[in-house]
Structure 1
Amino acid sequence: MSVEAGSRALLADGDVVLVRPLHPADTDEVLALHTRLTEQDTYFRFFGARPSALDKLAAEMTADPGPGHYAVGCYRRGELVGVANYEVLKDSTDAEVALVVDATVRTQGVATLLMEHLVSHARKTGLKRLVAEVLAENAKVIHVFADLGLRFEASVGGPERDVVMILDEDATYLDAVLKRDSVADAASLTHLFKPSSIAVIGAGRRPGSVGHAVLANLVASGYPGPVEVVNPHAGEILGVPSVPSVAALSRTPELAVVCLPAPAAAEAVEECGRRGVRAVVIISSGLTGTEAGARVHAAVREHGMRLVGPNCLGVVSTDPACPYDLTFLGSRVKPGNIGVVTQSGGVGIALAESLNDLGLGMSTLVSTGDKYDVSGNDLLMWWTADRRTEIAVLYLESFGNPRKFSRLARQLARTRPVLAVRSGSGDTAQRAAASHTAAAATPAVTRDALFEQAGVIAVDTVAELVDVIAGLSWQLLPGGPRVAVVSNAGGAGVLAADACEREGLVMAELSDETREQLVKLLPSEAAVRNPVDTTAAVPPAVFADALRAVLADDGVDAVLAATVPTAVGDPGASIAAVLPPEYKTVFAVRPGQRARVAPLVEGGRNGVTACYDDPAAAAAVLARLVRYEQWLNRPEAGEALVPLEDPGALRAFAAGREGWLPPRDAVELLRLAEIPMVETRYVEAGDSVAAATADLDSPVVLKADADGLLHKTAGGGVLLNVHGADRILEAFRTLRSRFGSALRGVTVQPMAEPGREFLVGVRSDPVFGPLVVFGLGGVDTDLIADRAARLAPLTGADADLLLDGLRASKALWSPGRLDRGAVRELLLKVSRLAELVPELTELDLNPVRAHSDGCVALDVRARLERPAAADPFLRRLRD
């Protein structure tokens, strides 16, 4: 639901409130809120006694939102507890702000939440500053303004303070909002993960029913709090007392789980809301898209509950202080350090069983199902504060707010690994392309860019997910990409080396000292260069010594030890004696073992590593861990561009425009964004080409602007190396003859300096935001399709990854050949354009020609659309 229609949000204590714009119908409630202010609060608000015309003030505050006025209210359980509003100062981009909060909720962050909504709306309407006049002794309100995260200024001296909040769009404010969001979200999820009491609604007496299985798992989990069942046909089930209705429960449960058919489930959720239940898990299916589902949505919204589901497997928490299992899993979940959130119950079941087989446990398992409320973003915030969770795992079939996900995942991945299973990569999800950039910016490309920039370790299958979890659980992150292979079977070693190179790992060059040591240890027929083949004749102790020697080499970051048992012994059994090495990663490979992955030895951490049945699986895990380690060591921010001289002119130019820009306007857009483009003249189809191009240096290139002509070169719309006025006129006539009435005009440019041609573009997704695409351009664009993509805003590190992310990158950036710095700067400027102009839906710079001393765009296509109203970083719950 849009912000204007109202949105649920969380206070600092986890309480759910509704924030919405105020309208004339709210006047009486606003008046009542001001009337019940204490004497001190009245003095702070009005700088004196309560004004006699308070009813008039309330009416002014609740006037319908317009260009110069906006007011929002915060409703807690249907009661108005806070109001914030601003009035735009005359002929200004400043607005004066005022706040009123009921004393009963003063410490719960109502004022801050209301201010965030004002800030979001003010930015959207183009305001630059919020200002206020505050009594110096009103320290609490001054702190609210100062702690928002905006640039803040306040006068000093005297009884009053003039406060200014500058509405810059920077990361500092977003980080502050995210921190407040995380604190509030964790507080609200305490009702879910640490409930003081639980009710199971719909637990049946029949062992084969889902509700019975959920109750049985709860009873077996050792949950320490009181439990009751709601079932009108039983007095007790599995030793747990049962009552006929939610109203008949002996106490109000903090958490309820619903296992009923859809219509009955909706009624149960409504009863839970009326009873004051704080969190609900709905196992039931068949709600989405029905009247019953709409009733659930309404009940959650009205009563301020947190909800998991519906149509889900349930929730598990293994917190020793409050363990519970509210799922219908067939086996117990072991306590551990892995947090899992999944939209698919089947994926949750498969993962739980696989981790159990490995002896690994979970901290939390949340099956979100149809995801009415609690989502992956909520779990990212919970895990950030939950030190029991050391590995975060996500299976997400959709993103409700991917831009927020990116910031949350990046924050969490800085402290512990975040893993995700890719889904929705098929061609059926891809949209029709209107340009080269759009063709490259498929949903799968956008999602992968999101994962890569956020430091998420992405896999394609549950089996690969388990492989990576095993590797992370028992070994350190590798210190670099240099890998050595040690094997007692030459073929296994060669396969492992091939797999490492396919994954982009570097086969380490062993030092002379290491090779000399191996020569002394191993038979004469052994291979002592990487991959090391000890031969099958060596006993386990000698293999272990060879492994130690390789691990001691400073040029080796990680080792794959591939072994097969022989009549001489089993070298694989000796690997455990070498572990753990100092700051080195070791994975074992045992071709032919029954399990895809297993612990090398059972028991404690010493001597344990992941043992894979195939070298390719081990190499794939190692490569993912190397990339994650490199991401951790990458700078979070890059060098800033010189600020635009007049960003307001750029925004003003784009405002109100929609559709594909005419060529002349597209060129102007680049000029305002300070993106280099070759000098360009545009000639309307009926104008004089001679007059328009008289002072252009020859030779020139003419490019047709015609209806239906998307790719000019392929469509015969480009004429190169045209010399002199006569030839220019002739070329113009040729294009007019070729395209007839479809020809709108012709672009004329001087021939650019030869160089390598690139594609640089932007494709803005209404959910993910703008994606910057970089690749080979010109005639190579479709032929080779060598491209990379990152979500805006780009850091300097992101721009470098784009430059190095092509298959051709190594050959392109040899010293002195192309001006890498100029192309890098152009990428950052394009990213800035996408951020400053949210209307920019599609941008295609193709080609951008780079040479040894700069780069310049030769052609541009740009499409603008009215941006979505929703602010992805505004604090609100799903509706």
Structure 2
Amino acid sequence: MEAAQYPAHWEADVVLSDGGTAHVRPIHPADADLLRAFYSRLSEESIYFRFFGPRPRLSDREITWFTNVDYTDRVALIATIGTEMVAVIRYDRIDPAEAEVAFLVEDAHQGRGVASVLLEHLAATARERGISRFVADVLPANQKMMTVLKQAGYTAQSRFADGVVRMTLDLTPTETSQEVTAAREHRAEARSIKRLLSPGSVAVVGAGREPGGVGQTVLRNLLAADFTGPVYPVHREARAVAGVRAYPSVTAIDGEVDLAVLAVPAEGVIEVVKECAEKGVRGLIVVSSGFGETGPEGRARQDELVRIARAYGLRVVGPNCLGVANTDPAVRLNATLAATVPGRGRVGFFSQSGALGTALLQRVAQRGMGISSFVSAGNRADVSGNDLLQYWEEDPATDVILLYLESLGNPRKFARLTRRISRRKPIVVVKSGGATQNVPTGHAAPVLGLPDTALSSLFEQAGVIRVDDLVQQFDVAQLLAHQPLPAGPRVGLVSNSDAMALLAADACVRAGLEPRPPVNLGAAAGAAEFGGALASVLPDVDAVVVIYMPPIPGPAAEVAAELLRVSRDQGKPVLATFEGRTGMPPELRTDPVPGWGSIPSYPAPEEAVRALSHAVRYARWRERPAGVPEEPDGVDTAAARRLVRAGLREGAAETDAAGLLACYGVRVWPAERVDSAEHAVAAAERLGWPVALKAADPEAAKRAGTVRLGLTGPDGVREAFEGLSRQLGLDAALAVQRMVPQPAVPTVIGVVEDAAFGAVVSFGLGEVTARLLRDEAYGLAPLSREDAAALVRVPRTAPLLLGGYGYPPVAVEALTDLLVRVGRLADDLPEVVRLDLDPVLVGESEAIVLGARAVLREPPGPRIDGGPRRLGGFPA
């Protein structure tokens, strides 16, 4: 009998509920000994619950039955940690749509969420094999198994008969099941990061005796920060390093080790990882270089590092990274190469660049901002910005999240997380490589296929504040960390310099803010004048920029104290250009230093206004209803899937776009292809006058001069046909289409299935100038009604739809509905890799699709960030 083909795409690394990791994979015949060893470690109770009776051992026949499956009607997945199997789940098909499910978890690993994550993965494999229901017979005393099945989020039913509870699970994903999966993912990943940032003890492997070495630098920084737990230098020969007793290996350490910092040559890292796993270390920071950044050999070494670490339950920061820091007084961790770490603050900071990390920390410290925690991920082979987002979302010490990104490993997950987190905490991002879209060598991340403008648009949809550089990032962060969000765009200006007040007012107008007439106090103004002016301005504005730039040294401390007193408890942001200083001057800080209500300072008023404008846009986004993607009426997803499958079976590169759109309640304006002037006249008679004659090929129709509009009679159609035939070639296909019976604005809607982001919807105006300037907006599918309404308003030419520049307002609601329907189609059908609705004419009462084209391709695999929980693979 031919062996069933092993489905390697079912393999996955997963994070468990306590933050550890495990590997999930299909079982295969070579696992016989692994299964025997696993079974030998089970308690009598676990065996009884699984088999409904005592079974001290499995027979050879049973071992063969359990390990030899066909991966279709009989499937088993196992979870392994290190070299041991710790859990197994299986299904056996009992009819075409139903299968019986059962699982076993080793007693020592129960309560870690192993069964829940295995059930998620088995449900996904079952759906892939056409199974829509699981049934499970459970003893009433087996509360753990019933809890796992009930809490999966699927629609469940249960009945009791003959001493057994039969539970039935409908495997159709529901909103509840998706929420359960996301919540478990969030808790698990957040805990895995907490284990890295709050260790009880740290080992530094490769801490040499020579000052200035990488390992000794990390060791000295740990000691200088007064880390609250024990620190263990590891050196093969030295008895002590930096005055601290050293150990020849990690396994020789006589205490527990939670975190290990690896500063050994790249060739020796894998062996040290195995030692750490044997010791029970829970996390690794690999500052060593010589991995993915060096080329294919280093990349293979990097992949092996992560594979082994995850297999043994460890998360990895790095390699080629600066390290991590946590300013919590209960931890005081500086496991980095940077001697300067800012004091305690409310900002979490993630940087991919190790080389840049030191300079970034110094800049933050110079500004007096402070941080809650810091992670430099280096090559980002395992721990990524997404993991840190999960942690900072619930971290009570973090109010603002800063990300310096050189690549995005899972952009769709990033968008999903940031959209949720931004509702509670601002996220300020610098994304390098915008012009080139390049990814640094060594990063486990794809090159993005979308233009940088699309990335900005997607960030905006998720509420992410994207800034151009690090200076702007810190400018915005110091405002958001210490001042409330503005309620609107009205800005008050209080200044002792008329010239600088005018600069600030101009900056406000350029940024889309609404400045009020500046209050100029004169060069000699002191604390009383500034306090009185601020108090008089605050009630009628949403934010105030105070400019204190005395021509000669003045009573700075008194002015600062008065500004703090007046602005306290007003609930409105106050910013300053205070003697040209940058950051959080001591005079403008509140306790604890610097606390909530501290007033940030900027070297020039334009920079203060720029930071404020970002805060205004972010506040406006937070006020907008979150919106939930809806199921529009008149949608027949099953019919659409049948069309797509039929097209793929026939090997078609394109499908009937009009028929596909009709399944989603979208009508394409009728058109007829014609091959002669007389056929064109006949088509016009059937469609109704007046008509347009155009190139039938959508690409050719975009060129200027390939459309004849407003043809009202047979002679005009014949003349137009002959002219276009000469212009395009006698064999060019032409089409006749009835004219839209109202003035309308041409727009373009598109869908592209991006390898990193999944289905992305684009929108722009169809005018030639707008196309040339690529004045487009982008959104991830599916789109909520709020997403679609916002998308319409993003292009710079959007005022032409909204009644600007003397144009009549058009049916924006109809356009919004059309975008929602297209977004639903894009999300439902990953096989539609490109969809163009061009043009879409938006008139006073409706949006009319004149042309549509759909391109099909069999997807290479499941969408990124789709399906059950899993860590990134290789590449991540």
Task: Name whichever of 624-633 and 684-693 sits farther off.
Answer: 684-693
Q: Deviations over 1:316-373 (max 9, x none)?
A: 1222222221111132432332211111123322221122122232221111101121
Asked if 1:561 corresponds to 2:546, the answer is yes
- Between the aligned partners of 2:435 and 2:270, the Cα distance in structure 1 is 35
How many angstroms does 1:216 deviate by?
0.7
> Residue 78 of structure 1 corresponds to which residue in structure 2?
83
- Between the aligned partners of 2:70 and 2:708, the Cα distance in structure 1 is 54
Residue 211 of structure 1: which of 211, 215, 239 is its match?
A: 215
Structure 1 SS opposite 2:701: coil
Superposed counterparts of 1:43-54, under 5 Å: 44-45=49-50
- Between the aligned partners of 1:91 and 1:728, the Cα distance in structure 2 is 58
Task: Name whichever of 617-626 and 734-743 sits farther off.
Answer: 734-743
> Residue 459 of structure 1 corresponds to which residue in structure 2?
467
**Structure 1 residues 785, 124: CA separation in 2 closer, same or farther (over 3 Å shift)?**
same
**Structure 1 residues 107, 713: CA separation in 2 closer, same or farther (over 3 Å shift)?**
closer
Asked if 1:375 corresponds to 2:384, the answer is yes
Asked if 1:755 corresponds to 2:760, the answer is no
Q: Deviations over 1:726-764 (max 9, x none)?
A: 876776676666555974x54443222331111111122
Q: What is the letter of the counterpart of residue 807 of structure 1?
A: R
Q: Deviations over 1:268-301 (max 9, x none)?
A: 2233234332211111111224254344234314
Residue 602 of structure 2: which of 612, 615, 619 is its match?
A: 612
Does the aligned pair in 2 maintain the 1:538–1:568 contact within 8 Å?
Answer: no
> Residue 348 of structure 2 corresponds to which residue in structure 1?
339
- Between the aligned partners of 1:4 and 1:687, the Cα distance in structure 2 is 57
Q: What is the letter of the counterpart of residue 692 of structure 2?
A: V
Number of aligned residues: 842
- Between the aligned partners of 1:103 and 1:454, the Cα distance in structure 2 is 42
Asked if 1:409 corresponds to 2:418, the answer is yes
**Structure 1 residues 3, 731: CA separation in 2 closer, same or farther (over 3 Å shift)?**
farther
Residue 778 of structure 2: which of 768, 786, 789 is its match?
A: 789
Asked if 1:328 corresponds to 2:337, the answer is yes
How many angstroms does 1:168 deviate by?
4.3
Superposed counterparts of 1:42-191, under 5 Å: 44-45=49-50, 62=67, 66=71, 68-87=73-92, 90-92=95-97, 94-124=98-128, 128-135=132-139, 138-155=142-159, 159-191=163-195
> Residue 640 of structure 1 corresponds to which residue in structure 2?
630
- State the TM-score, normalizing by the size of structure 2: 0.87
RMSD over aligned Cα atoms: 3.5
Does the aligned pair in 1 maintain the 2:7–2:71 contact within 8 Å?
Answer: no
Does the aligned pair in 2 maintain the 1:255–1:277 contact within 8 Å?
Answer: yes
**Structure 1 residues 735, 859: CA separation in 2 closer, same or farther (over 3 Å shift)?**
same
> Residue 650 of structure 1 corresponds to which residue in structure 2?
640
Structure 2 SS opposite 1:19: strand
Asked if 1:543 corresponds to 2:530, the answer is yes
> Residue 492 of structure 1 corresponds to which residue in structure 2?
500
> Residue 516 of structure 1 corresponds to which residue in structure 2?
none
Task: Name whichever of 308-317 and 560-569 sits farther off.
Answer: 560-569
Residue 859 of structure 1: which of 851, 857, 863 is its match?
A: 851
> Residue 534 of structure 1 corresponds to which residue in structure 2?
521
> Residue 850 of structure 1 corresponds to which residue in structure 2?
842
How many angstroms does 1:398 deviate by?
1.2
Does the aligned pair in 1 maintain the 2:96–2:131 contact within 8 Å?
Answer: no
Task: Name whichever of 580-589 and 185-194 sits farther off.
Answer: 185-194
**Structure 1 residues 814, 639: CA separation in 2 closer, same or farther (over 3 Å shift)?**
farther
- Between the aligned partners of 1:171 and 1:483, the Cα distance in structure 2 is 42
> Residue 24 of structure 2 corresponds to which residue in structure 1?
19
Superposed counterparts of 1:459-538, under 5 Å: 459-508=467-516, 530-536=517-523, 538=525
> Residue 362 of structure 1 corresponds to which residue in structure 2?
371
Task: Name whichever of 531-540 and 733-742 sits farther off.
Answer: 733-742
Asked if 1:806 corresponds to 2:791, the answer is no
How many angstroms does 1:831 deviate by?
0.8
Does the aligned pair in 1 maintain the 2:22–2:311 contact within 8 Å?
Answer: no
Does the aligned pair in 2 maintain the 1:848–1:855 contact within 8 Å?
Answer: yes
Q: What is the letter of the counterpart of residue 627 of structure 1?
A: R
Structure 1 SS opposite 2:656: helix
Q: What is the letter of the counterpart of residue 307 of structure 1?
A: V
Residue 679 of structure 1: which of 664, 667, 670 is its match?
A: 670
Does the aligned pair in 1 maintain the 2:684–2:738 contact within 8 Å?
Answer: no
Asked if 1:830 corresponds to 2:830, the answer is no
Does the aligned pair in 1 maintain the 2:747–2:765 contact within 8 Å?
Answer: yes
Q: What is the letter of the counterpart of residue 418 of structure 2?
A: A
Structure 2, unaligned runs of 5 or more:
1-5, 440-447
> Residue 11 of structure 2 corresponds to which residue in structure 1?
6
- Between the aligned partners of 1:860 and 1:690, the Cα distance in structure 2 is 23
Q: What is the letter of the counterpart of residue 380 of structure 1?
A: L
Q: What is the letter of the counterpart of residue 192 of structure 2?
A: S
Task: Name whichever of 50-59 and 618-627 sits farther off.
Answer: 50-59
Does the aligned pair in 2 maintain the 1:660–1:861 contact within 8 Å?
Answer: no
Task: Name whichever of 695-704 and 666-675 sits farther off.
Answer: 695-704
Does the aligned pair in 1 maintain the 2:677–2:718 contact within 8 Å?
Answer: no
Does the aligned pair in 2 maintain the 1:661–1:862 contact within 8 Å?
Answer: no
Q: What is the letter of the counterpart of residue 407 of structure 2?
A: S
**Structure 1 residues 668, 490: CA separation in 2 closer, same or farther (over 3 Å shift)?**
same
- Between the aligned partners of 1:206 and 1:51, the Cα distance in structure 2 is 58
Structure 1 SS opposite 2:686: coil
Q: Deviations over 1:370-415 (max 9, x none)?
A: 1121111111122233212222211121111122222322333333
- Between the aligned partners of 2:64 and 2:677, the Cα distance in structure 1 is 58
- State the TM-score, normalizing by the size of structure 1: 0.87
- Between the aligned partners of 1:2 and 1:310, the Cα distance in structure 2 is 30
Task: Name whichever of 187-196 and 82-91 sits farther off.
Answer: 82-91
- Between the aligned partners of 1:841 and 1:266, the Cα distance in structure 2 is 41
Asked if 1:765 corresponds to 2:769, the answer is no
Task: Name whichever of 106-115 and 158-167 sits farther off.
Answer: 158-167
Residue 573 of structure 2: which of 585, 590, 596 is its match?
A: 585
Asked if 1:238 corresponds to 2:229, the answer is no
Residue 875 of structure 1: which of 860, 865, 869 is its match?
A: 869
**Structure 1 residues 50, 725: CA separation in 2 closer, same or farther (over 3 Å shift)?**
farther
Structure 2 SS opposite 1:199: strand
Asked if 1:269 corresponds to 2:273, the answer is yes
How many angstroms does 1:860 deviate by?
1.3
Does the aligned pair in 2 maintain the 1:700–1:750 contact within 8 Å?
Answer: yes
Q: Deviations over 1:171-226 (max 9, x none)?
A: 43332212112222233334322223221111122222222211111111212322
- Between the aligned partners of 1:693 and 1:703, the Cα distance in structure 2 is 13
